[in-house]
């Protein structure tokens, strides 16, 4: 039995259940000087026809961004495009989206999911990168032990990478578990991407990592236009504005859609304060 939870419990982290509801949120963020990346929520889709419908939704989203003159790119999960059962179908679907992204001069970020999906995600990325170097980029997770090699490869390609800590529960064989080690790795990869890759996105709410990035950019004379910070919708909103006011690019990841539970659950797992926030508002509602 599938239980549908009421949307208001996720409202802090998810902009709306529909695109029409998400547009005013994006506009408001843009007016505050924040860039956006829009994610139409959905993952682990096993139905061929549904992957094609999701592809159409993303194409529609790209045209809507253009028509509404929003400052927004898109983020998507390949597991919603057929990655779980037919990689050729997944490539076909992503190829349709990238064609439109190029036509509209937009950018598609391939979110990174659990470690079993990393090899095929990077394979799909490399398949398209030569044709779409300005329109597609992967995410690398600092907690994975394989990531050093992936960072070096992305530096060789001069690819546009989003660097994150990593949000999935992974075993010690594949991922570092200690937060200090993950932070050290994040900083080392940030430095490589800032100097050897192209326009990296440093995606974190962690002040230690934000300060390290600012200090490194200043020390090396890296311009504020040559990288960006990213944060999630609903998390550290004042800090998002403050960083933008300092003249850095700050992009907010704005998820929307009815399939919000897995995303919402990852946010709760990350931080006990997020659970407390939701509980507090549940009892207030
Ligand atoms: P974390 O939650 O570890 O907190 C560390 C420190 O940051 C805290 O101790 C505190 O100092 C500060 N802090 C955090 N939240 C705060 C708050 N609300 N108020 C005050 N201080 C706070 N993951 C993935 O696996 N694949 C992906 O594709 C993506 N994509 C993605 C995009 C974007 C834009 C972001 C920001 C993140 C992701 N992630 C992700 C998620 C990422 O891997 C990670 O799980 C979360 O960002 C949480 O880690 P942080 O480094 O942000 O801070």
In whole angstroms, give the CA distance from residue 99 to residue 252.
24
Give CA separation, 230 vs 105, 183, 282, in Å.
Answer: 20, 16, 28
**Structural domains in the chain (count):** 1
Pocket perturbation via mutation, ligand 1, pick of 14, 204, 232 by most ligand atoms within 8 A of CB? 204
CATH code for position 112: 3.20.20.220
Tokens read off for 81: 């495009």
Q: What is the mean pLDDT of the chain?
A: 94
Distance 206 CA to ligand 1 centre (A): 7
Domain for residue 1, yes or no? no
* Cα 188 versus chain centre, distance: 20
207-220 vs 179-196: helix crossing angle, rounded to 10 = 30
Q: Which atom of ligand 1 is nearest to the CA of 179?
A: 3
**Listed residue (83, 116, 76, 126) closest to 100, CA to CA:** 76
Q: Which domain holds residue 30?
A: 7-279
Pocket perturbation via mutation, ligand 1, pick of 138, 167, 272 by most ligand atoms within 8 A of CB? 167
| Range in 43-47, 83-87, 91-95, 106-110 with the lowest mean pLDDT | 43-47
Domain for residue 184, yes or no? yes
Structure confidence by residue, pLDDT tens digits, 44-85: 999 999 999 999 999 999 999 999 999 999 999 999 999 999
In whole angstroms, give the CA distance from residue 134 to residue 276.
40
Domain for residue 2, yes or no? no
Domain for residue 77, yes or no? yes
The mean per-residue pLDDT over the stretch 137-150 comes to 98
Contact between 227 and 200 under an 8 Å Cβ cutoff? The reply is yes
Q: What are phi and psi of 114, to 5 degrees?
A: -70, 170
Q: For the whole model, what pTM was predicted?
A: 0.94
Residues with CB under 6 A from ligand 1: 111-112, 139, 141, 164-168, 203-207, 230-232, 235-236, 253, 270-271
Residue 238, number of CB atoms within 10 A of its CB: 7
Domain for residue 285, yes or no? no
Domain for residue 167, yes or no? yes
Distance 104 CA to ligand 1 centre (A): 30
Distance 205 CA to ligand 1 centre (A): 5
Contact between 244 and 32 under an 8 Å Cβ cutoff? The reply is yes
**Listed residue (108, 106, 107, 54) closest to 79, CA to CA:** 54
Q: 203 pairs with which residues across the strands?
A: 230
Instruction: Please name the helix (run of DSSP H) or strand (run of DSSP E) that holds residue 254, with its range, or none.
Output: strand 249-256
Distance 199 CA to ligand 1 centre (A): 20
Domain for residue 115, yes or no? yes
Q: Is 280 a residue whose pLDDT tops 80?
A: no
In whole angstroms, give the CA distance from residue 202 to residue 196.
14
In whole angstroms, give the CA distance from residue 76 to residue 90.
12
């Amino acid at each position: 039995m599938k239980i549908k939870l009421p949307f208001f419990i996720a409202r802090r982290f998810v902009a709306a259940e529909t695109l029409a509801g998400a547009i005013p949120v994006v506009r408001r963020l843009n007016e505050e000087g924040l860039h956006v990346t829009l994610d139409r929520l959905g993952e682990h889709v096993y139905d061929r026809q549904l992957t094609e419908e999701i592809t159409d939704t993303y194409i529609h989203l790209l045209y809507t961004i253009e028509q509404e003159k929003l400052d927004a790119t898109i983020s998507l999960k390949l597991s919603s495009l057929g990655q779980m059962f037919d990689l050729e179908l997944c490539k076909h679907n992503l190829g349709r989206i990238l064609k439109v992204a190029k036509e509209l001069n937009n950018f598609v970020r391939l979110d990174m999911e659990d470690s079993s999906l990393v090899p095929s995600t990077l394979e799909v990325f490399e398949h398209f990168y030569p044709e779409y170097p300005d329109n597609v980029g992967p995410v690398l997770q600092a907690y994975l032990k394989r990531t050093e090699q992936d960072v070096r490869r992305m530096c060789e390609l001069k690819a546009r990478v989003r660097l994150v800590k990593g949000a999935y529960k992974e075993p010690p064989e594949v991922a570092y578990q200690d937060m200090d080690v993950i932070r050290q790795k994040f900083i080392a990869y940030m430095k490589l991407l800032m100097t050897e890759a192209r326009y990296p996105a440093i995606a974190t709410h962690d002040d230690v990592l934000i300060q390290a990035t600012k200090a490194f950019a200043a020390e090396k004379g890296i311009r504020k236009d040559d990288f960006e910070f990213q944060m999630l919708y609903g998390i550290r909103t004042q800090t998002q504005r403050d960083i933008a006011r300092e003249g850095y690019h700050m992009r907010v990841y704005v998820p929307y859609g009815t399939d919000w539970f897995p995303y919402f659950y990852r946010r709760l797992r990350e931080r006990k304060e997020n659970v407390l926030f939701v509980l507090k508002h549940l009892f207030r509602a």
